[in-house]
Amino acid sequence: MPALPLSDEQLAEAAKLKFLFQKWQKERRDAGLPSSQEAACEDLPFGQSALAQYLNGKIPLNVDAGIKLANLLGAQLADFSPTLADQAAKFAEAVVPHVEEAVMTAETVGGFLVTDDDAHAPVTIPIRMVALHLQAGITNFETAENFDSDEKLHMPRQWIEENDFDPKSLLAIKVKGESMTPTMYEGDVVVINLRDKARVNGKMFAINFRGQAIVKRLKYERREWFLASDNPEYRQEPCKSGECDVVGRIVFFQARNFRDRL
């Protein structure tokens, strides 16, 4: 049975999505980065054929695909599909634990329940501080709470909201080694956004490099990706598939090792 044609609303949403995707492609080309549909699908859970059909209005978007595309494009779901954004909000509301209506509203920030009354809203949101346990060639990982007293890194709620982060997708880890000095020293703490794996030239990421968790900058040179250190004594390493997988982007770091800075 042939698929039903998309409604006018769905076609309009596909056109908006295609416009945002073309804008993303231009920004990537201007930065000397891969910008093809195939390159985009490296960070998407579906292939180039499905992506082309979403962009050209051949198949309808769903909430999961819409969220993945919004993350890739650095956009909000509502920027191209208010309908799916409304559905996503209803899904989130359905899974949020019930609380007294007098205190909380059903508004969420990345799945974290907040209030529209600053008198009741939490000033900070705790981020788990963990150690990453990785295996070479495997993108999944395990975490272990290895800090004293189940330590948390408390981040300002306003920062979480303004950056549209999901607190459950943020992890804090300690920096090891000297490869990122003078920017970071061993013992400093970085926050990783696990939902942001799209490679960006010159930005800093947590990387699974041959089974080890490392913090490096990604550099795109001569049509290849490399791991770069801020410490000039460390050489660049090729970031090859199977040896080098992005865990998440570094979105914050906190200096804790002041001894080596003074």
Query: pLDDT band at residue 262, thresholds of 50, 70 and 90?
Result: low
Q: Is there a domain that residue 99 lies in?
A: no
Residue 242 backbone class (left: φ over 0; alpha: ψ -120 to 50; beta: rest): left
Residue 200 has pLDDT above 90, yes or no: yes
pLDDT tens, residue by residue, 240-259: 888 898 999 999 988 887 77
Same domain for 76 and 162, yes or no, is: no
DSSP string, the chain: -PPPPPPHHHHHHHHHHHHHHHHHHHHHHHTT---SHHHHGGGSSS-HHHHHHHHTTSS---HHHHHHHHHHHT--GGGT-HHHHHHHHHHHHHHSPP--TTT--SEEETTEEE-S-TTTS-SEEEEEE-EEEEETTEEEEEEE--SGGG-EEEEEHHHHHHTT--GGGEEEEE--SSTTTTT--TT-EEEEETT-----TT-EEEEEETTEEEEEEEEEETTEEEEE-SSTTSPPEE--TTTEEEEEEEEEEE----GGG-
Same domain for 82 and 132, yes or no, is: no
230 vs 217: CA distance, rounded Å:
8
Same domain for 131 and 257, yes or no, is: yes
Same domain for 82 and 181, yes or no, is: no
Which position has the token pair 């801020």?
230
Predicted confidence at residue 32, as pLDDT, reads 83
Predicted confidence at residue 150, as pLDDT, reads 53
Q: Structural domain tally of the chain?
A: 2
- Contact criterion met (CB below 8 Å) for 168 and 127: no
Q: Is there a domain that residue 143 lies in?
A: yes
Range of the structural domain that residue 63 is part of: 8-92
Residue 115 has pLDDT above 90, yes or no: no
Q: How much of the chain exceeds pLDDT 90, in percent?
A: 29
Q: Is there a domain that residue 155 lies in?
A: yes
Q: What is the pTM of this model?
A: 0.53
Same domain for 32 and 137, yes or no, is: no
Same domain for 49 and 141, yes or no, is: no
Same domain for 134 and 218, yes or no, is: yes
pLDDT tens, residue by residue, 129-176: 887 765 544 445 544 454 444 578 888 888 888 889 999 899 999 898
Which position has the token pair 């799916």?
84
Q: Is there a domain that residue 228 lies in?
A: yes
Same domain for 151 and 86, yes or no, is: no
Domain boundary among 92, 108, 139: 92
Predicted confidence at residue 1, as pLDDT, reads 38
CATH number at residue 155: 2.10.109.10
> Using omega within 30 degrees of 0 as the cis cutoff, is the peptide bond preceding 2 cis?
no
Q: Is there a domain that residue 115 lies in?
A: no
The mean pLDDT of 25-29, rounded to a whole number, is 88
Predicted confidence at residue 113, as pLDDT, reads 43
Domain boundary among 38, 71, 92: 92
Q: How many CA atoms lie within 13 A of 89 on its CB side?
A: 14
Same domain for 56 and 155, yes or no, is: no
Q: Is there a domain that residue 80 lies in?
A: yes
pLDDT tens, residue by residue, 50-97: 899 999 998 888 888 888 898 888 888 888 988 888 887 776 555 444
Domain boundary among 92, 112, 132: 92
Q: Is there a domain that residue 97 lies in?
A: no
CATH number at residue 66: 1.10.260.40
Query: pLDDT band at residue 226, thresholds of 50, 70 and 90?
Result: very high
Q: Is there a domain that residue 137 lies in?
A: yes
